Amino acid sequence: MIQLVAFLGNYGREYEKTRHNTAWQFAESLPFYSKLNFQSKFKGQIASLDYSEFLNYACSAVPELLKDGQQPTIAKNAPSKIFFLMPETYMNLSGQSIGEVCQFYKIKPEEVLVIHDELELNPGFFSLKWSGGLAGHNGLRSTKTVLGTQDFWRIRFGIGKPQNVNIADYVLSNFSKEESILMSIVYQKAGLLLVKTLLSSDPTRLIAKWGKVNAEA
């Protein structure tokens, strides 16, 4: 099961509303974000929740998780804690922060969920993905290098890939007002995916439904 959630982005106020910081924007939209007590460590900001505590917050925010008014049963392979990490190494060195957390807490690559922007998906789409290619994403490349494998989980947020535009400039540009409205819808629906992924004893079962989602559908 997932034990570490890493939200990729760039540290600094000038990057807060950029496309490359989609994952940080998503983190801040989560209904339990205010419950996360972040501390500076491992070249980033890290917080943790006891698994049972996370389950309580998740069920409060997403009532549909309740079955006949009861919380889901905690899986036997559930971790005691879930860690939430916002690397502050800047995007291209994100793996350094992730690697330090994994080494300290003995977290395996398959127990890592990396959340990031994705050029290969159109705006309005998000996706749960296991392993696979990196699509030129430097944060993923850094993570693969440090973990020694690309076999880790991802939630991807589509930002699109316009033609005849400098990609570096594009990902570091701010969302338009209309795009920001769209992304708020995406974040709300993706929040359910994140919760389901963290509660799942086998996230591969979620891919059929959540492998590519159009938030506007």
Q: Which residues are catalytically annotated?
A: 20
Beta carbons of 47 and 38 less than 8 angstroms apart: yes
d(CA 19, CA 119): 10
Sheet holding 153-158, edge to edge: 39-41, 44-50, 81-87, 4-7, 112-118, 153-158, 125-130, 213-214
Helices (H), 118-176: 138-147, 167-171
Q: Retrieve residue 17's tokens.
A: 């509303």
Residue with tokens 């509303």: 17
Determine contact, residues 155/193, Cβ cutoff 8 Å. yes
